[in-house]
Structure 1
Amino acid sequence: MKDTMTKQALRPQGIPVHTPLPAAKPAPADTSITLVPDYAEDAAFFRALEQQGILLNAPQIEAVRHGEGPLLTLAGAGCGKTTVLTARAGYLLSVRKVDPQHILLVTFTTKAAAEMKSRIAALPGVSARTARAVEARTFHAFGLLLLRRYGNLKEDIFGDARAQHAVLQRLRREIGSTSITPPETLLATLSAIKLEGGSADDLPKDTPEERDRCALLCRYEEWKQEHRKIDFDDILLRTEQLLKDPDLLVMLQERFRYIMVDEFQDTNRLQYEMVRRLAANHRNLMVVGDDDQTIYSFNGAKQEYILDFPKEYPGTRIIALDINYRSHPQILGLGVKLIAHNEARHDKTLQAGASAGQSPLYIRPAHADEEADEIVKRLKIQQNEGRSLGDVAILHRTVSGTRAIAERLLMEDIPFIQYGEAPVFYDHALIRPVMDHLRLSVNSRRMDALPGVIGPLYISRDAGMEHIMSQEQKQAKKYPLIHLFHWERLQSFQRQQVKDRIVFLKKIKEMKPLYAIREIRRVFYDKFASADFSGPATRHKDNIRETLDELESAAGKFGTVEEMVKFADELSAKREQMLELMKQEAPEGVHLMTVHRAKGLEFPCVYLLGASEGILPHKAALQEEAPEDVKAGQGFTGPDPEGKLMQAALEEERRIAYVAVTRAKHELYISSPVMHHGKTVPPSRFLLEAFQ
């Protein structure tokens, strides 16, 4: 690492030093102690809450007291929505004497549902038996309950992610698939199209990779039918069909007379329809959410459900939970100023319930590697000052955004917990085949690299490896790949491709790594991975190109292919060692995650990486025309002359930035690299707008 440290500033680059710093206004200090007088009919309930340390502010009290009719509760980040949901359930039970069986509370995670049940049971006037009678479930668990009780469910639930991945890998081998798309991406793609009413057969088929992916997912759906399995999306689809039974629907509407929905901004079409049908008659529907935190459109979440709720339910009462108890006023103020530039949102301004603290600090490193150096230096300073690594989150917009920081954390032996992606960038499913070509160019007999080279030849990895290993036992070759040239199962053009690939491997060995990777992409890999520009543009293709571009950025710092291969292998080994150490000693580690995964969480200290144009906002939101899959998901069949889709995409990026900022409680560091994939980029417009 360099000895010098990038200068930190109180304002992003380009903002004059005399510009005032954003700061949220202090919130009123009044709570139920002063707001609910002892002579109020429900005073006993609030006094009992206070004895438990639950001091509600004015808008929270208003939401808890709500009785009949639709209620839209706009719960800003860190404003106590879970407390309000559970307290209202307790109020209905103990003050309004509502039968617990008439209450349905729907949320998105099993953990959240269990926590709410537990909190309800601890409320004044609510017995454990009464709390158990309240139906508090996830959308899927509730749908499953209905299917088992009133439907004709004969299938088993196939919801374990590891088992799903294992089946997909087995089916890959069965059909000779050469797809490099990771199982989790495949399943997310399938889920997205099913939630919009489509099927696996409706997936794009413009490139070999897309056709391969479509065939694999179609076979996966067939396998589920053969083995009498349904997944979580099937549960929602089946529930939608079940609720079309008018007699059953009337009975359920009578049963669940008070419905509360958490995280309403994240509902997809099927979830929204489920709630809409159940609440259609009595309209006693309370939805809690934050339109400023709608960041899951790729999972089917539609912001219009929360924006248009008052139109769908005339007479809706709107209450804004606008006092944030999480972040310092200076951190919250940045978020408030930032999100105010979105047009598609309910008007609200958060106030600070926390005391003043440190303002966000901005750095402007040259590139991602210098950014990583800078953050690690600061982490070490914080450690020396007594900061626990478990208090720190490093947030990034994209998967490829972890490459440099994960490398530096590994090299410095700083433990970290990574959520969702391959721990080492070079082991990413998309990157591994490219690295395997480099590995094989350095060592032609490196057997662990052969599968990554066989796949892009459009040959089944498993069958190809089986043939190579069987022939190796008979006669070992300097280039084991050559055994495929003599494999009778291949056609003549495939055999020639094998021979050409061996010549190609010899050629790239002497190149600089950056040029070798560019040549691999140009000659065959971009086409194989659907990263070329053939066919319609899609988000999937954009993500692939971005990840491969990041690999090129990483390659620029190595002088030889052998040097890059050695570094990648060392990183993988160090990560394995770190994982073993963390299993044995269970030390705290830095949390390394995308902003999407951080939603709903909070940390004393947050580092936001890549707050530059083209990263956040992502370049996909800065294009002139929306990708075809985005258009299809929004019901567009042609051009978008008014640019509505791109405006919506940019506003979602701004919401992502807002979510990132509002994860921080005490310290927030924002980094805006000068260079990104070889181009000079300014700091994120979102930061600059916040100072206007």
Structure 2
Amino acid sequence: MHQPTLQYQSHPPGVPITTPLPQTPSAPTTTSKELVQPAVEDAFYFRALEEEGILLNGPQIDAVRHGHGPLLTLAGAGCGKTTVLAARTGYLIAVRGVPASQILLVTFTSKAAAEIKARIANIPCITPLAARSVQARTFHSFGLAVLRQSGQREQILSDFSTRHTIMKIILRRLKVGETYQPETLLAALSSWKMNGEWPTDLPSDTAEELKIKKIMLAYEEWKQGRNQWDFDDILLHTTKLLNDPSRLTELQSRFSYLMVDEFQDTNTVQYDIVRKLSAGHRNLMVVGDDDQTIYSFNGARQESVLQFDQVYPDATIISLPINYRSDSRILGLGTALIAHNVFRRNKQLVAAGSKGNPPYYASPMSVEEEASFVVDHIEEQVRLGEISYSDIAILHRTAGSSRSVLEQLLIRGIPFVQYGNNTVFYDQTIIKTLMDHLRLSLDPRCKEAFQSTLGPLYISREEGLNYLMEQERKQSKKYPLIHLSHWDRLQPFQQAAVKERIRLIKKLTSLKPVYAIREMRRIFYDKYLEAGDPLLHTQYKETLTDSLDELESAAERFSTVEQFIAHADELTLRHQQMEDMRDGNAGHAVQLLTIHRAKGMEFRQVYWIGASEGILPHSTVLKEKIPQEMKATHPQTAESKLAQAAIEEERRLAYVAVTRAKESLYITSPSHYHGKAVEPSRFILEAFGVIRKHSS
């Protein structure tokens, strides 16, 4: 239960109550009605927009009117970039006479492409035929269309689970199935390709690199033998096709105007495609916000926005500063927060959104109290009719940091949609292995728990399980795992390890759950995760550690292993029941999602949980070791600058979290996390002028 005195306050903990709240100025109210005079040549177009309720502000008008040459449009959060992209498309067609088929808009998601197409279709002065003729596509869709026109007929492996299965088959064939994790290999291969490199160019200087390269090339050969590509292959082959001068010239002539949305998210390959396509005519408009570059782990490079006018010295730069989304005090917090980043384009947003509430803050003792407090508040608001579930989003930094709030939602039967993950925390692969050891301590014959316990013994899960079942049919044992100690395919040290593991399993049920988990981590699991996959980048390792620490925190509330397992199984059951009911009720549900997934979205009411040091900014970037992903995308950058860049990306995440809120924003900063005292996130305190000394 949360403390009776815990309540939301106007200021974060540690900030004097007399400190003024950050607030942005109000935006000017003038629109095209006043700014576009009747006598000007293009007045008809803006009058037509106005009749449809599209009233553009001054900077938006400038962006829409832009003609030839490169244009960087800095579109802050909630500043109407989609409206500008659609309106400029209409302007090029209706005013400048550009054939609709010569306009190409490139974005990152099918949803964004569909939205832009829908907006264009509603632009006055544009015929339905012209609206359909505009090419609005994702990078992958555009690349695939071009490749198909060039005669490529490969099938696309779009399903991750299929690629995961293929990689598992490769690992089994090469007899390294217990050494490497398929998802890690696939992520590393994708990262390599998105830096513009082909698998054949993978390094092979050491024995380990040679082994990994052999796996990767076997995976590629498997696809080639079946005439298949994955999504990354589409982009690589598109860049290869654009190296053909005749094909490139043909495409440059066909698309004389190129517009790119979310330009800050482009990786090396996508950036190369944009540069090549626009090199002939240079009619390139990019829309982006360097303050929302949060996907460096996917190869996104903030430099694409920061260095645009160095690459294109004659570029026009237009900033869209008017935010139509958030209350001025919510926007004020975001603006004051992001201003502490050094590597950014200076910009000052102003508010035109409807009036809401200032942000509120609370500092619960733990994530358990935080979850109870937040869900109490949600229930109360809904009960009073202030808001509905579908208006609410709960944002969190990592998958693990949502564990406690997800449990509260399940226990209380509050409908929710969980983005990007359809399992309960305890059913995630890394966690399930330890939970299954606990299940075997209660019931050593629990068949469902056998398979996940084999990996940490370095035994093939499928072959080991088949052997177990076969031996059990011949002679049943109280502890079926003991069969493995007699398997002639295992080395003597492996057979001894099986006996040692059984002794540990027998012991676990006598321990409190948290001690049982710590004992498993100490004896075998941490070493298994560390040694089991040399490709695990720093960030992935930290995520694994974070999840295991979260498991310990979850277990601390329970006295016995039996209670803990019963709790986990109850949550799994409730989650499945909620999934089964969701189809008809998804529109009336709280949104639970990571900040990364929330980018581009907006909600009436936002709860940002885990606004504490070690959660956001994440512990990964507070350590001396630089995340490997950041090194890979910035190989020439000094480590001191990379450390600062890592902190600045975390600050951009905080900025994205704040600017998702339209009317209400509630921020909670647990004062204890994974058993340690932690301070409120530096990002919030900085926005109020409170600067603390930190180790990084």
Report the TM-score when normalising by structure 1. Answer: 0.95
Alignment of 1:27-46 (within 5 A): 27-46=27-46
1:399 and 2:396 matched:
no
1:574 and 2:574 matched:
yes
8 A Cα contact 1:512 1:561, kept in partner: yes
How much does 1:337 deviate? 0.6
Return the match for 1:683 from 669, 676, 680.
Answer: 680
Alignment of 1:384-533 (within 5 A): 384-386=383-385, 387-530=387-530
How much does 1:571 deviate? 1.1
How much does 1:216 deviate? 5.9
Helix, strand or coil at the partner of 1:21: coil
Q: Quick one: which amino acid aligns to residue 13 of structure 1?
A: P
Aligned to 2:692: none
Aligned to 1:56: 56
Q: For 2:92 and 2:384, locate their aligned partners in 1 and report how far apart those are by CA, in whole Å.
A: 48
Alignment of 1:143-222 (within 5 A): 143-150=143-150, 152-171=151-170, 178=177, 186-198=185-197, 202=202, 218-222=217-221
Aligned to 1:113: 113
Aligned to 1:324: 323
Helix, strand or coil at the partner of 2:74: strand
Q: Which runs of 5+ in 2 are unaligned?
A: 690-696
How much does 1:338 deviate? 0.6
Return the match for 1:651 from 648, 651, 656.
Answer: 648
Alignment of 1:586-597 (within 5 A): 586=586, 588-597=588-597
Q: Quick one: which amino acid aligns to residue 11 of structure 1?
A: H
Helix, strand or coil at the partner of 2:429: coil
8 A Cα contact 2:180 2:532, kept in partner: no
Q: For 2:535 and 2:164, locate their aligned partners in 1 and report how far apart those are by CA, in whole Å.
A: 28
Q: For 1:675 and 1:472, locate their aligned partners in 2 and report how far apart those are by CA, in whole Å.
A: 47
How much does 1:421 deviate? 2.6
Q: For 2:496 and 2:139, locate their aligned partners in 1 and report how far apart those are by CA, in whole Å.
A: 54
How much does 1:632 deviate? 3.2
Q: For 1:503 and 1:211, locate their aligned partners in 2 and report how far apart those are by CA, in whole Å.
A: 38
* More divergent stretch after superposition (681-690 vs 548-557): 548-557
8 A Cα contact 2:184 2:536, kept in partner: no
How much does 1:567 deviate? 1.2
8 A Cα contact 1:361 1:669, kept in partner: yes
Q: For 2:531 and 2:599, locate their aligned partners in 1 and report how far apart those are by CA, in whole Å.
A: 30
Aligned to 1:546: 546
Q: For 2:87 and 2:352, locate their aligned partners in 1 and report how far apart those are by CA, in whole Å.
A: 20
The alpha-carbon distance between structure 1 residues 608 and 203, as it changes in their structure 2 partners (threshold 3 A), is farther
The alpha-carbon distance between structure 1 residues 517 and 6, as it changes in their structure 2 partners (threshold 3 A), is same
The alpha-carbon distance between structure 1 residues 535 and 63, as it changes in their structure 2 partners (threshold 3 A), is closer
Q: For 2:647 and 2:585, locate their aligned partners in 1 and report how far apart those are by CA, in whole Å.
A: 44
8 A Cα contact 1:441 1:505, kept in partner: yes
Q: For 1:235 and 1:464, locate their aligned partners in 2 and report how far apart those are by CA, in whole Å.
A: 38
Aligned to 1:615: 615
Q: For 1:32 and 1:630, locate their aligned partners in 2 and report how far apart those are by CA, in whole Å.
A: 43
Aligned to 1:125: 125
Q: For 2:535 and 2:249, locate their aligned partners in 1 and report how far apart those are by CA, in whole Å.
A: 48
Aligned to 1:666: 663
The alpha-carbon distance between structure 1 residues 230 and 533, as it changes in their structure 2 partners (threshold 3 A), is closer
Aligned residues between the structures: 687
Deviations 1:73-109 (A, max 9, x none): 0001001000100100100000110122221111111
8 A Cα contact 2:179 2:532, kept in partner: no
How much does 1:45 deviate? 0.6
8 A Cα contact 2:181 2:533, kept in partner: no
8 A Cα contact 1:390 1:588, kept in partner: yes
How much does 1:308 deviate? 0.2
1:288 and 2:266 matched:
no
1:70 and 2:67 matched:
no
Q: For 2:513 and 2:276, locate their aligned partners in 1 and report how far apart those are by CA, in whole Å.
A: 58
8 A Cα contact 2:301 2:633, kept in partner: no
Aligned to 1:253: 252
Q: For 1:88 and 1:472, locate their aligned partners in 2 and report how far apart those are by CA, in whole Å.
A: 71
8 A Cα contact 1:207 1:530, kept in partner: no
Q: For 1:212 and 1:670, locate their aligned partners in 2 and report how far apart those are by CA, in whole Å.
A: 47
Task: Give identity over the alignment, percent.
Answer: 54
Q: For 1:64 and 1:560, locate their aligned partners in 2 and report how far apart those are by CA, in whole Å.
A: 65
* More divergent stretch after superposition (491-500 vs 270-279): 491-500
Q: For 2:602 and 2:170, locate their aligned partners in 1 and report how far apart those are by CA, in whole Å.
A: 40
Q: For 1:482 and 1:337, locate their aligned partners in 2 and report how far apart those are by CA, in whole Å.
A: 61
Q: For 2:121 and 2:159, locate their aligned partners in 1 and report how far apart those are by CA, in whole Å.
A: 30
How much does 1:600 deviate? 0.4
8 A Cα contact 1:24 1:351, kept in partner: yes
Q: For 1:566 and 1:435, locate their aligned partners in 2 and report how far apart those are by CA, in whole Å.
A: 11
Report the TM-score when normalising by structure 2. Answer: 0.94
Deviations 1:251-304 (A, max 9, x none): 222222111110000000011111111111221110001110000000000000
8 A Cα contact 2:196 2:268, kept in partner: no
Deviations 1:414-463 (A, max 9, x none): 12111113531111111110111111111101111111111111111111
Q: For 1:625 and 1:173, locate their aligned partners in 2 and report how far apart those are by CA, in whole Å.
A: 33
Aligned to 1:273: 272
Q: Quick one: which amino acid aligns to residue 690 of structure 1?
A: A
How much does 1:379 deviate? 1.0
How much does 1:184 deviate? 5.5
8 A Cα contact 2:297 2:629, kept in partner: no
Q: Quick one: which amino acid aligns to residue 674 of structure 2?
A: H
Deviations 1:14-47 (A, max 9, x none): 1111100011110001111111121121111111
Q: For 2:79 and 2:180, locate their aligned partners in 1 and report how far apart those are by CA, in whole Å.
A: 39
Q: For 2:528 and 2:402, locate their aligned partners in 1 and report how far apart those are by CA, in whole Å.
A: 24
The alpha-carbon distance between structure 1 residues 532 and 330, as it changes in their structure 2 partners (threshold 3 A), is farther
Helix, strand or coil at the partner of 2:454: helix
8 A Cα contact 1:539 1:630, kept in partner: no
The alpha-carbon distance between structure 1 residues 192 and 406, as it changes in their structure 2 partners (threshold 3 A), is same
Deviations 1:539-561 (A, max 9, x none): 22111111111111112111122
The alpha-carbon distance between structure 1 residues 220 and 6, as it changes in their structure 2 partners (threshold 3 A), is farther
Aligned to 1:141: 141
8 A Cα contact 2:296 2:630, kept in partner: no
Q: For 1:204 and 1:324, locate their aligned partners in 2 and report how far apart those are by CA, in whole Å.
A: 50
The alpha-carbon distance between structure 1 residues 582 and 224, as it changes in their structure 2 partners (threshold 3 A), is same
Deviations 1:452-481 (A, max 9, x none): 111111111111111111222222211111
Deviations 1:642-668 (A, max 9, x none): x10011111111100000000001110
Aligned to 1:355: 354
The alpha-carbon distance between structure 1 residues 629 and 297, as it changes in their structure 2 partners (threshold 3 A), is closer
The alpha-carbon distance between structure 1 residues 31 and 629, as it changes in their structure 2 partners (threshold 3 A), is closer
Q: For 1:528 and 1:289, locate their aligned partners in 2 and report how far apart those are by CA, in whole Å.
A: 42
- In angstroms, what is the RMSD of aligned CA positions? 2.4
Aligned to 2:562: 562
The alpha-carbon distance between structure 1 residues 135 and 582, as it changes in their structure 2 partners (threshold 3 A), is closer
The alpha-carbon distance between structure 1 residues 533 and 240, as it changes in their structure 2 partners (threshold 3 A), is closer
Q: Quick one: which amino acid aligns to residue 265 of structure 1?
A: Q
The alpha-carbon distance between structure 1 residues 359 and 299, as it changes in their structure 2 partners (threshold 3 A), is same
How much does 1:587 deviate? 6.1
* More divergent stretch after superposition (283-292 vs 532-541): 532-541
